[in-house]
Structure 1
Amino acid sequence: MRVALLVNPAARAGAHTGIATRAAERLRAHGVQTAIVSGGSAAESSSLLRTAIDVGVDAVAVAGGDGTVNLAIQEVAGTGTPLGIIPAGTGNDFAATLGLRELDAKAAADAIAGGVTRRIDLARVTRADGSTRFFGSVLASGFDSKVNDRANAMRWPRGGSRYNIAILVEFLALAGMPYDVELELADGTRERVTGDLVMATVGNGRTYGGGIPICPDADPADGLLDLVLVRPAGRLRLLRLLPRVYRGTHGSVPEASIRRVRSVRLAAEGVTAYADGDPIGALPLTVDVVPGALTVFTPQA
């Protein structure tokens, strides 16, 4: 087997590079031909990865977090080329959805060398200009995208606690935003929701922000997406809701609703959506599910 191993282009001399080196050594010990791919930017890394796929690698692996995994997803979606993940990022939420988050470099490499794969869905975003992009875990808009704005601007601390601090700071300025949401349910029925929302989140996976279970029951292989809408309430009431979000039990409170959908169009003025932890575009956006679009390596039972 020949594998192209993509490394986070923003951390070529840092921790990701060391993890990638250990993973590559482990793969080679299994007899897997492994070439490390890393450009000077996301665009260059994507171009190098496309070239490797065109040349004929058998699989793609990623050493990094959700953003780096997202780069690889764009290249392998719908191709049948399997994707392996060596979790090495801040959040690793997509890896968590696949049961890979806690794997170290050697265990993740072993899963790739083992050759066991499964097919999962991807979510596809269509922007107002018609351009598209896939994501694997969660798209956030509203309060949670503002949290991402703040968390990404913070230099300290690292890890999931950065998101916790950003949540508390943004909470002080929390206000509802006028949304227009058009959704298609699993049975093909269409509905429209209008009015103020605190947030509108679309999940192919379960968690974001380093493990927050915003879509606690999402199944990345069920052919559907989970849509979470939260309506405004008093600040004290919403503060009491936060611990339920961290436990994944928020779906039972009156201000929150979780629906299974095939597609959803989100529109709100001045709101930028994030997907897999990175900005993906300003609303309005349409998100639909692409069943079985991605083949991933999974640990052997």
Structure 2
Amino acid sequence: MITDIALLVNPKSGQGRTAAVAVRALRHLRKSGVSTTVLVGKDEADSLALARRAVESGTDALVACGGDGIVNVALQAVAGTATPFGVIPSGTGNDHARMLGIPRHDPIAAARVLLNGAVRPIDLGRVGDRWFGTVFSGGFDALVSERTNQLTWPHGKLRYNLAMLVELAALRPLDYVLELDDQKLETSGVLVAVGNGQTYGGGMKICPEAVPDDGLLDVTVIGEARRDQLVRLLPTIYTGKHVERSQVTTYRARRVHVSTPGVVGYADGERFGPLPVTCECVPLAAHALVPA
């Protein structure tokens, strides 16, 4: 039974909505008799230090309130430990919440999962010493994320949409070298995504068959495509139907090495660093609080 929670909050996520969401969840938890400590870091490094300190001190659960970025911070602290993590979603994408079946639009319902839910062991992806829960991207999608972070206007999804238009105008095929366990592939394409979960970008089912506790990473490769082909293909990613297109191939592997020049990889919406990288599935590396 959970009686003590460390609530890790990113008040800047969700275009400022997270503070109000955190207050509602906090009131419900404390009203339910759960001792709750609020953690707000000055920056990502400070948030991680606070999260690790809470785990080391023996909190019953580390709960991330915000978007996928703050959940990623929580994963760095709980990975490889027995401390479960929970999510009070209030970000733009909330793909961890999707993956775990947590209510995304009702903080009280999400808080009830912490009180009445179950603990589910899940796999995590690992790149070097960093962990991710949903999807690692290394292609057109990562270029869009990089461009989004460079833009100062507009805000929210409009900024992402503008970045996508800019990158579409500059679209070019990338030369990839992929190593999938003991299989080596050389291919040309516009996108490689490595999924522990199915979705990224706020519900885009880039790896529609991914299961976060099967010990494997799902790999989606979108091959060479003209701008008009990619424009038609992109909407189908929301339903997962893109995998039926001739330009798309999928694989499964425990270890995935991705190499292509000039691309910075992203995972859980966070900047991980330039390729090449090796993504490794670490079975049951974390314990998630999910609906019973």
Q: Which TM-score bucket, shorter chain as reference?
A: over 0.9
CA distance in 1, matches of 2:157, 2:37: 31
Task: Specify the alignment match of 1:110 in structure 2.
Answer: 112
1:208 shift after superposition? 1.0
* 8 Å CA contact 1:160, 1:209 repeated in 2: no
Task: Specify the alignment match of 2:255 in structure 1.
Answer: 263
Secondary structure of the 1:108 match is: helix
Task: Specify the alignment match of 2:168 in structure 1.
Answer: 171
Task: Specify the alignment match of 2:197 in structure 1.
Answer: 205
Name the CA shift for 1:69/1:91 in 2 (closer, same or farther; >3 Å): same
Cα offsets for 1:158-189 (capped at 9, x unmatched): 544543443233112110111111112xxxxx
Cα offsets for 1:105-135 (capped at 9, x unmatched): 1111111011421111110112xxxxx1100
Secondary structure of the 2:48 match is: helix
Within 5 A, what are the aligned runs for 1:243-254? 243-254=235-246
1:98 shift after superposition? 1.1
Cα offsets for 1:273-295 (capped at 9, x unmatched): 00000110111100010111111
CA distance in 2, matches of 1:164, 1:14: 20
Task: Specify the alignment match of 2:86 in structure 1.
Answer: 84
CA distance in 2, matches of 1:240, 1:41: 39
Task: Specify the alignment match of 2:75 in structure 1.
Answer: 73
1:213 shift after superposition? 1.1
Task: Specify the alignment match of 1:5 in structure 2.
Answer: 7
TM-score, normalisation: structure 2: 0.93
* 8 Å CA contact 1:9, 1:42 repeated in 2: no
2:90 pairs with 1:93: no
1:234 shift after superposition? 2.6
1:247 shift after superposition? 2.4
2:136 pairs with 1:139: yes
Task: Specify the alignment match of 1:285 in structure 2.
Answer: 277
Q: Percent identity?
A: 46
Q: Quick one: which amino acid aligns to residue 137 of structure 1? A: T
Q: Quick one: which amino acid aligns to residue 46 of structure 1? A: L
* 8 Å CA contact 1:151, 1:162 repeated in 2: yes
Q: Quick one: which amino acid aligns to residue 196 of structure 1? A: S
Secondary structure of the 2:93 match is: coil
Secondary structure of the 1:270 match is: coil
* 8 Å CA contact 1:91, 1:160 repeated in 2: no
Which consecutive residues of structure 1, in runs of 5 or more, have no partner in the other structure? 127-131, 185-189
CA distance in 1, matches of 2:165, 2:237: 13
Deviates more, 1:19-28 or 1:239-248: 239-248
CA distance in 2, matches of 1:271, 1:13: 27
Name the CA shift for 1:12/1:54 in 2 (closer, same or farther; >3 Å): farther
Name the CA shift for 1:246/1:166 in 2 (closer, same or farther; >3 Å): farther
Which consecutive residues of structure 2, in runs of 5 or more, have no partner in the other structure? none
Within 5 A, what are the aligned runs for 1:117-128? 117-126=119-128
> Which of 31, 40, 49 is 1:38 aligned to?
40
CA distance in 2, matches of 1:101, 1:166: 29
* 8 Å CA contact 2:14, 2:91 repeated in 1: no
* 8 Å CA contact 1:9, 1:39 repeated in 2: no
CA distance in 1, matches of 2:214, 2:155: 33
* 8 Å CA contact 2:100, 2:290 repeated in 1: yes
Task: Specify the alignment match of 1:129 in structure 2.
Answer: none
Aligned positions, number: 290
1:236 shift after superposition? 2.4
TM-score, normalisation: structure 1: 0.91
* 8 Å CA contact 2:265, 2:272 repeated in 1: yes
2:184 pairs with 1:192: yes
* 8 Å CA contact 2:94, 2:104 repeated in 1: no
